[in-house]
Amino acid sequence: MSLSSPSALSASSHPLTPYGWDDGWEAEFAPYAEQGLLPGRVVRVDRGQCDVVTPLGTVRADTEFVVPRDPMKVVCTGDWVAVDPAGSDPRYVRTLLPRRTAFVRSTSSKRSEGQVLATNIDHAVICVSLAVELDLGRIERFLALAMSSSTGDAPPHESALRESGAQPLVVLTKADLVPDAAGLSYLVQDVETAAPGVPVLPVSSLTGDGLDVLAAVVAGGTSVLLGQSGAGKSSLANALLGEDVMGVQHTRDVDGKGRHTTTTRNLLVLPGGGVLIDTPGLRGVGLWDAESGVGQVFAEVEELAERCRFHDCAHDSEPGCAVLAALDAGDLPERRLESYRKLMRENQRIVAKTDARLRAEIRRDWKRKGAEGRAAMAVKRGRWG
């Protein structure tokens, strides 16, 4: 295989195909191929550098050329990028290809700016343990954040309004702990009521039950495992990765200087096809901006709300409220409405915080431009005055 012109390869025979390279990425990358740059997918990021898997193997590259001031444009695991060809020292990531989807954390404890945790995700696998009592509200919360995964190209509350790319899937883990098949199908049905239109799949990493179905679903793209600590994510990841896990995770790679290094990757190729992203940030999911996600998870509530007399109806005690009418008629479970209200309130707090941050940023930007303008004037006066 000729490695000197990777762009000449069709997507199906491309060395990056196992990493998710397709005709779409090929087309996005075309202008950079013309500049002699290498395509690659980011498998790990740390301190201003990243590991990028390319047709020439994994290379290390600096990320400082990609707008580091914008937290939403910071190179992230899962990104497709263009890097300098062999012989460049140091190598740089020259561009970030437009993201199809991104998981963005809106808030951290100190700052309210968005933080991109993983990008170009096709499947959001929400892991729910059957070892403990089902908490449908929590499942709805995870669904909302999965469905609000955005492109990360705009502030989170804006991008969340766009259509999401990642497909959610609820996996009920530790199915071996449910003794009878009837009980299991009852639990699946229960979860299905909280996740209309979302596949619900019972699996056991212990016995392997249901793993083949899950493997087939995730074979078609890039997946992340979401869910509470203890939900069985690591066990599931190991089960999906099979015995290859160490071999895949700790490959010997060549760094930017041609040295062999041992690295830990956060993006792994599954033996049955597909890619799994597992970053520390994704594991400790805190508060997320999930407004559009909430709307999608509670589509029936939003549909009812459109028929309320007042368009800003709070579905509290307003006259002509279609949501309360459905509640009275028994068409809408009380629990669903409570869950919906709770998530909307939580989300409004996050959006308000984000707005405050944006206003502060615009003010800063304006001040900086003012200062630059004055400096330019001073230079002009010095030269011409």
Of these partners, Zn ion, ligand GDP, none, which one is at the site of residue 206 (CB under 5 to 8 Å by kind)? Answer: ligand GDP
Q: Which is nearer to Zn ion, 198 or 323 (CB)?
A: 323
- Token digits for 342? 């709770």
Of these partners, ligand GDP, Zn ion, none, which one is at the site of residue 231 (CB under 5 to 8 Å by kind)? Answer: ligand GDP
Interface segment toward ligand GDP; rule CB under 6 A; list 33-41, 174-182, 267-275, 298-306: 174-182
Q: Which is nearer to ligand GDP, 49 or 204 (CB)?
A: 204
Q: Which residues bind Zn ion (CB under 5 A)?
A: 308, 313, 315, 321, 323
CA distance 31 to 165: 25
Q: Least distance from C-beta 87 to ligand GDP, angstroms?
A: 41
Q: Could you give the angle at the alpha carbon of 49 between the alpha carbons of 262 and 357, nearest 5°?
A: 135
Omega before residue 90 within 30° of 0, cis? yes
Q: Which of 232, 274, 293, 295 binds ligand GDP (CB under 6 A)?
A: 232
Assess 233 for contact with ligand GDP (CB under 6 A). yes
Q: Which is nearer to ligand GDP, 86 or 213 (CB)?
A: 213
Q: Which of 205, 223, 266, 354 binds ligand GDP (CB under 6 A)?
A: 205
Interface segment toward ligand GDP; rule CB under 6 A; list 33-41, 151-159, 225-233, 302-310: 225-233
Of these partners, ligand GDP, Zn ion, none, which one is at the site of residue 82 (CB under 5 to 8 Å by kind)? Answer: none
Q: Least distance from C-beta 308 to Zn ion, angstroms?
A: 3
